[in-house]
Chain A
Amino acid sequence: MSKTALVTGASRGIGFETTRRFILNHDDITTVVMFARDSEDFDNNVKELEKELPIGRKLVPYKVDVGDRSALKKAVKRAYDEVGNIDILVNNAGYTNPVPLQQVKMADFEKTMEVNVYAPFTIIKALLNRGNTFDLIVNIASTAGINGRSGWLTYSASKAAVINMSQVMREELSIYGTRVVCLSPGRTATALRKTLAPDEDPTTIMQPEHVAQVISTLSSSVGKFIDSENIVVRQ
C-alpha cells in the first residue's frame, strides 16, 4: 500500500526526524510532503535525506511559513494537486516567544495562535473541503498545554487549544474513519525548547528522534491499538 504523509515544521527537530523515519523506515509511506520556512537547515537536510532515499520513495519539500495563512492555503492546494490524497498528517510546526504576562505583545500572541492552532486547523479544513480523507492526523501539542507554565502564557494557551481542538476533530472526523491523535511531548531537545529553556543542556533530555519513533509507531499497522485523547511522551 502506498501512502502519502504531510509533515509541517519539517526542516529540523521532531518534524525532520519524523520525515526521516517515514520515508526511510515506514512500510507504507512512499511520499512525504515537507512544509517548512525557507532556511539553510531545510535545504541541507532535504539534500542529505535525498541521498539516502530508497527507490520509489519521494520527498516533496514546500517552502512555506505556516503562520502566513494565505501562503499556507496556497501551499496546501498546490501540494494536494501535486500528490493527491494526504493519508497521514503530522501538524508539528510550533512557535513560541516566552515572556511574562505583562510583557506579552498582542501581535506575538496572535502569531503563536496562528502557527500553533490556526495552521493545523487551516490545513485540515482546506484538505477536507477538497475531499481529502485522512487515515491519521497527529497534532503535536505539549505537556505545557495540559498545565499552564509561568512565563509561557501564550505557548501554554495555544497548546491547550490544540489538545481541545484535537478532541473535537477526533469525534467529528470519526465519520470518515479518521484517527486523530494528540501528542504532548515533554522536554525535547529542539530549537523551540532552546527558546523556552536556554540554559538547559539538551543532551540530558528527550531527543527529537524519540518523539519521531512514537509518531512512526502511531502510523504503523499497530498504531490503531494505541489510543488516547492526549498521549504524553516524556523522559
Chain B
Amino acid sequence: MYSLILLNGGIGSRTGASQPKQLLKLRGIPILVYALVTADRVEQISQIVVNYPPQWREQIEEVLEAYAISTPVTLVEAGDSRHSSVAAMLPHCTNDDVIIHESARPLVRESDFRGLIESKHKNVSLMSEISFTVAPVDPETSEVTGSLDRDRLRNVQLPQKFSKSDLEASHERAVNEGIEFTEDATLVADSGFPVHFIDGSDENFKVTTSTDLKMAGFLLRPEEDDDE
C-alpha cells in the first residue's frame, strides 16, 4: 500500500490571487479537489498526507469534509520550501512506499497513479518529452556555452513514487550536505538510488499562473463542446 504526499502548501504568489491557488476555483471547484478525488479512487493509496499553508488549515479541512474523501487524511503544516515540506511530511507516512503529487496539477488521471504503482521499479517519476530546444548558457556573460541533446532530457512531472527509506535517506543526505532540490526524483537519483521514469501526459501540467488556470479550465470543459 502507498501513502500519498499531496503537496498543497503553496501560497500562490504567481497567480496573483488573494488566496492560495489550491483553493482557487477551476470550473467552480477548488483546485485541490481534483487530485484528492482522483487519488481517493485508487485503492492502493491507503493514506493521504496533505500539507497546508499556515493560517489556511480550516479552509482545507472544510474541503476535505465536504467532498467526503474516504481515504484517511493526515494534515501537516507546510514548511518554508517544497523540499522542507516533503521532509516534514515523510515521518507521517505509515506505508513503506510513498507517492508524491501536488494539488497544483489537477489534471492528473487515475491511470497516472496506477502506472506508477504497476511499474516494477521502486522509484519512478512521470516525465514528459521536451518539445522545444534548451541551451546551456552562462547567465553572467549571456553566452551560449554549448548544446544539449533533448532526447536525453525530460520534463520532470508529478506524481512520483519512492521507497520511503530511499526518500528519507536522500533527504537526510541533503540536510547533512546543506543542499536543496526543487523536486525529489533528481534528489533521490543524485543520492545514488535508482530512479526510473514512465511517460506522462503534457496535459498534466502545473497550474502556476492565471493563464495556466484558464488552460486547465479549457481542458476540463465538457467533451460535448467539441461535438459537431
One of A10-18, A35-43, A149-157, A172-180 contacting the partner:
A172-180
Q: Contacts A174-B222, A175-B37, A176-B37: A131 and B27 contacting too (C-beta < 8 A)? A: no
Task: Kindly provide the distance from the CB of A172 to the nearest chain B CB, expressed in whole angstroms.
Answer: 6
Q: Mark B101-130, 1 if CB is under 8 A from A, else 0.
A: 000000000000000000000000000000
Complex interface: chain A residues within 8 A of B33 (CB): 175
Complex interface: chain B residues within 8 A of A78 (CB): none
Count of residues in A whose CB is under 8 Å from the partner chain: 13
Judge if B66 is at the interface, Cβ distance under 8 Å: yes
Complex interface: chain B residues within 8 A of A170 (CB): 222
Task: Kindly provide the distance from the CB of B197 to the nearest chain A CB, expressed in whole angstroms.
Answer: 27
Q: Mark B11-36, 1 if CB is under 8 A from A, else 0.
A: 00000000000000001110001100
Judge if B224 is at the interface, Cβ distance under 8 Å: yes
Interface size class of B (residues with CB under 8 A): 10 to 19
Identify which of residues 116-163 in chain A touch chain B, using a CB-to-CB cut-off of 8 Å. Answer: 128-132
Closest residue of chain A to B36, judged by CB?
Answer: A175
Judge if B165 is at the interface, Cβ distance under 8 Å: no
Task: Kindly provide the distance from the CB of B227 to the nearest chain A CB, expressed in whole angstroms.
Answer: 9
Q: Mark B48-83, 1 if CB is under 8 A from A, else 0.
A: 000000000000000001111110000000000000
CA distance A176 to B110 in the complex (A): 11
Judge if A227 is at the interface, Cβ distance under 8 Å: yes
Judge if A200 is at the interface, Cβ distance under 8 Å: no
Task: Kindly provide the distance from the CB of B144 to the nearest chain A CB, expressed in whole angstroms.
Answer: 45
Q: Are A131 and B70 neighbours in the complex by a CB distance under 8 Å?
A: yes
Q: Are B68 and A171 neighbours in the complex by a CB distance under 8 Å?
A: no
6 contacts between A and B (CB under 8 A): A129-B65, A171-B27, A171-B28, A172-B28, A174-B222, A227-B224
Contacts A171-B222, A175-B37 supplied; 13 other A-B pairs, CB < 8 Å: A128-B67, A128-B68, A129-B65, A129-B66, A129-B68, A130-B68, A131-B68, A131-B69, A131-B70, A132-B68, A171-B28, A174-B222, A175-B34
